[in-house]
Amino acid sequence: MSANSRTSLLRRHLFVAALVAGLLTANTVATAQTATVATKSSATNGSARSVVVAEGLSNAWALAFLPGDPAGPMLVTERAGRMRIVGKDGKVGPALTGVPAVHAINQGGLLDVVASPDFQRDRTIYFSFAQPVSGGARTVVASAQLAAGDSKLDNVKIIFAQADVVGGGLHFGSRIAIARDGSLFITTGDRYSEKDKAQSLETHLGKVIHINVDGSIPKDNPFTSNATARKEIWSYGHRNLQGAAIHPVSGKLWTNEHGPRGGDELNVPLAGKNYGWPVIGYGIDYSGLRMHDSTAKAGMEQPIHYWVPSIAPSGMAFYSADRFPQWKNSLFIGALAGQHLARLTLDGERVVAEERLLLDLKARIRDVRQGPDGYVYVLTDDANGKILRVSPN
């Protein structure tokens, strides 16, 4: 072999060695980043008891306690487009009038509802729904007043409407969380067929939205000076966010979202940050094939917790009451596919333990709220949906 051939071969060996070393380093960095930021679900089965408060609700989606009475009543949405008052005696009232028409197809329909912090004074509620429009449907949020007598909605006003109209009935989101300053966080879905648009700031798909209660744009929104971005966007790169809650101490927004087959996420979305969908993630396609570039990438945020396999997380609530000290500061999340209530023990913004409750019910848990009486209340999603009052066993 000539000297030139030996030199060329040596260079090739060195190049391959450097390449392998670089790949190993990159993988090590990605793994280290994942290990220090994201924690994978490792749950134990716990016990809790539940009491049926009300039943006969058809595919109920959300419940909200109306301020002013420590024992109720509750406002409940049914996906088909009905909103009902459930009394503290468990009696389910007739459907309210004045509720707009909804796109009640598959996952679409009447979705979340929350009561204004000033409800006793202004009787205001906020609710989200899939709105039927030409060409398909879109996620919208409306405000309204619950009329005296609790039989109808007055002054219904659309305060947010997703700019993107998509056909079908998948991935609408949508939860509403009221920030400490009274502004609203709204979660949307990527509508499944438009998943790549979760990365685009020109659409509302796969985003956390932040607006004032009149629909105007808060001054602290991160993209107000971006000429092409939707000014309502708070964070992006999300898939289908179906849980949202404000941390009672920090005041930060926490969200959960569905992954595909595996990769459900718990996040603390920060202004302007990209949470990676569909570029990075911990799940696979429904076909079983790989669908992400990797689990980590520069410029994209890691979840603080993720589930493999999926539990299909839904409504969630922090527990801040004194009734059950052993649950104080826990985060409760309903599981649809998992058919349980998850209780997460937190250390700051780190999940240190997960306990799965109500497994014996084999029920899809759609929403979770802390009641004014200090109990945990959950809403089951089926043709004979129930409101359950939950306490430690």
* Per-residue pLDDT tens over the stretch 176-186: 999 999 999 99
Arithmetic mean of pLDDT over the chain: 91
Give me the pLDDT at residue 17, please.
Answer: 40
Share of the chain above pLDDT 90, in %: 85
Answer yes or no: are the C-beta atoms of 288 and 324 closer than 8 Å: no
So which residues are the catalytic ones? Answer: 171
pLDDT for position 23: 34
Collect all residues with Cβ–Cβ distance below 8 Å to 252 and sequence separation of at least 6: 246, 268
The CA-based angle 279-285-287, given to 5 degrees, is: 155
Q: What pLDDT, on a 0 to 100 scale, did the predictor assign at position 150?
A: 87
Question: Residue 186 pairs with which residues in a beta bridge?
Answer: 176, 209
pLDDT over 70 for what percent of the chain? 90
Pairing between β-strand 74-78 and β-strand 82-86 as defined by DSSP bridges: antiparallel
Do 340 and 356 contact (CB within 8 A), yes or no?
yes
pLDDT digits (tens, 9 = 90+) for 81-140: 999 999 988 999 999 999 999 999 999 999 999 999 999 999 999 999 999 999 999 999
pLDDT tens digit sequence for 52-61: 999 999 999 9
Q: What is the pLDDT of residue 67?
A: 87
Please choose, from the candidates 237, 240, 251, 245, the residue with its C-alpha nearest in 3D space to the C-alpha of residue 176: 245
What is the β-pairing status of strands 305-307 and 39-40?
parallel
0.85 exceeded by pTM = yes
Q: What is the mean pLDDT of residues 342-371?
A: 97
Sketch out the chain's domains with CATH numbers: 52-392 (2.120.10.30)
What is the pLDDT averaged over residues 63-69?
Answer: 87
DSSP structure string for 91-153 = PBPPPPB-PPP---STT-SEEEEEE-TTHHHH-EEEEEEEEEETTEEEEEEEEEEE-TTSSBE
Region 315-332 average pLDDT: 97
